[in-house]
């Protein structure tokens, strides 16, 4: 089975500002602070940066950067309505035939189907349509080599310097904790999916067994925080959630039932802050965390039994809460 990646997770969201495209700048004033408060920005970072992170090197990518996708999907006189509709259509049915980025599909494979509320994709698409998005340092030169100087530069209608760097201490506690969780998720996800792409599911399983804790610990050192992944159904007993954490897991499960995007849960004390955020399954996860009689291959099950004799982390479907991020940092 050809491995697939979260790749086009937004193989939908974006494209280039074309010279024929009508200007909307006269309808909406430039407002840089608005970029930070637009709901689509956080949704984009939360749902897409594992595979489409703009800081990943070109050689290490497991999916195209979002600016490349934007350039492909925002062509000519595309209106916002058409833009959003095309994004929604692809997310509902992500196939090779429906994809527009043929080179990316050839290199990375087609993204697995994701269970996103339509409102989530609408907000992401709106944000991508309206604003500049961060691009990798290598991107412009790479794009010129691949496509020449073609029309448009991939910018949105409104200008605003995209957030860069990893200095998160000035952010609100909820945002700071979320940044710590997502940056760790990117490191784990990039390595895990790279293993799946190059060596298959068994290699990815061994990677998780050996490297998941050291990589998570290394990000704790980077951020000077305690970063953990815990679950009510752990694969490794070291990841078992306590009673309080199980309560938060239940809250996030209720969010999914209500088709609601989860917000970080923040618990502040005199000395430190604890932030909790859900870990959700997608179709890639099911190769190791799905149903044993259909999603997980027999050789993978055998390896799970060998590495994790007390495993509880199977039986999941897409878009379920498999656990939470638990982030603790000093004020």
Using an 8 Å Cβ cutoff, are 223 and 329 in contact?
yes
pLDDT score for 149: 55
Residue 283: pLDDT above 80? Answer: no
Percent with pLDDT over 70 in the chain: 82
Q: Residue 33 — pLDDT band, cuts 50, 70, 90?
A: low
Residue 239: pLDDT above 90? Answer: yes
Q: Determine the Cα–Cα distance for residues 140 and 149; give it in Å rounded to an integer.
A: 10
SS3 195: helix
Residue 169: pLDDT above 90? Answer: no
- For residue range 62-94, list pLDDT tens digits in order: 788 888 888 888 877 788 888 888 888 888 888
Q: What is the mean pLDDT of residues 260-276?
A: 94
Domains of the chain: 7-147 (1.10.760), 173-330 (3.30.450)
How high does pLDDT run on average in the chain? 80
Using an 8 Å Cβ cutoff, are 304 and 311 in contact?
yes
pLDDT score for 36: 64
pLDDT score for 65: 84
Q: Residue 212 — pLDDT band, cuts 50, 70, 90?
A: very high
Cα 174 vs. chain centroid, distance in angstroms?
Answer: 18
Q: Determine the Cα–Cα distance for residues 222 and 256; give it in Å rounded to an integer.
A: 31
Measured CA to CA in angstroms, residue 122 lies from 22, 85, 126, 225 at distances of 21, 9, 6, 33
Beta-sheet strand order (sheet of 226-230): 226-230, 321-330, 272-280, 265-268
- For residue range 190-211, list pLDDT tens digits in order: 788 778 877 888 988 998 999 9
pLDDT score for 238: 94
pLDDT score for 199: 85
Q: Residue 45 — pLDDT band, cuts 50, 70, 90?
A: confident
- For residue range 120-137, list pLDDT tens digits in order: 889 998 888 888 888 888
Q: What is the DSSP string of 44-100?
A: HHHHHHHHH-TTS-TTT-SS--HHHHHHHHS-TT--HHHHHHHHHHHHHS--TTT-S
Q: What is the mean pLDDT of residues 134-158?
A: 63
SS3 131: strand
Q: What is the mean pLDDT of residues 286-302?
A: 92
User: For the chain, how big is the Rg over CA atoms in Å?
Assistant: 20
Q: Determine the Cα–Cα distance for residues 191 and 201; give it in Å rounded to an integer.
A: 12
């Amino acid at each position: 089975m050809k491995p697939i990646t979260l790749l086009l997770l937004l193989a939908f969201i974006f494209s280039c500002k074309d010279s024929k495209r009508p200007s909307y700048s006269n309808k909406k004033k430039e407002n840089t602070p608005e970029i930070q408060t637009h709901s689509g920005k956080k949704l984009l970072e939360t749902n897409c940066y594992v595979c489409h992170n703009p800081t990943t090197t070109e050689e290490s990518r497991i999916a195209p950067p979002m600016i490349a996708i934007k350039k492909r999907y925002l062509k000519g006189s595309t209106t916002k309505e058409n833009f959003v509709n095309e994004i929604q259509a692809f997310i509902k049915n992500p196939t090779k035939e429906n994809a527009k980025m043929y080179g990316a599909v050839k290199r990375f494979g087609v993204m697995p189907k994701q269970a996103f509320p339509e409102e989530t994709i609408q907000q992401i698409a709106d944000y991508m349509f309206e604003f500049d998005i961060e691009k990798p340092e290598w991107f412009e030169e790479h794009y010129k080599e691949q496509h020449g100087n073609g029309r448009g530069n991939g910018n949105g209608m409104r200008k605003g310097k995209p957030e860069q760097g990893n200095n998160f201490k000035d952010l609100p506690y909820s945002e700071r904790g979320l940044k710590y969780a997502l940056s760790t998720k990117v490191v784990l996800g990039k390595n895990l999916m790279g293993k799946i792409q190059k060596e298959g599911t068994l290699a990815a399983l061994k990677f998780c067994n050996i490297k998941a804790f050291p990589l998570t610990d290394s990000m704790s050192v980077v951020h000077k925080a305690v970063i953990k992944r815990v679950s009510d159904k752990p694969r490794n007993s070291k990841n078992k959630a306590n009673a309080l954490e199980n309560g938060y897991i239940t809250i996030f499960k209720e969010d999914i039932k209500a088709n609601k995007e989860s917000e970080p849960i923040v618990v502040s004390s005199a000395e430190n802050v604890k932030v909790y955020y859900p870990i959700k399954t997608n179709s890639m996860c099911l190769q190791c965390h799905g149903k044993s009689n259909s999603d997980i291959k027999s050789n993978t099950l055998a390896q799970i039994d060998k590495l994790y004799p007390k495993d509880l982390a199977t039986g999941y479907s897409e878009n379920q809460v498999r656990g939470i991020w638990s982030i603790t940092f000093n004020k």
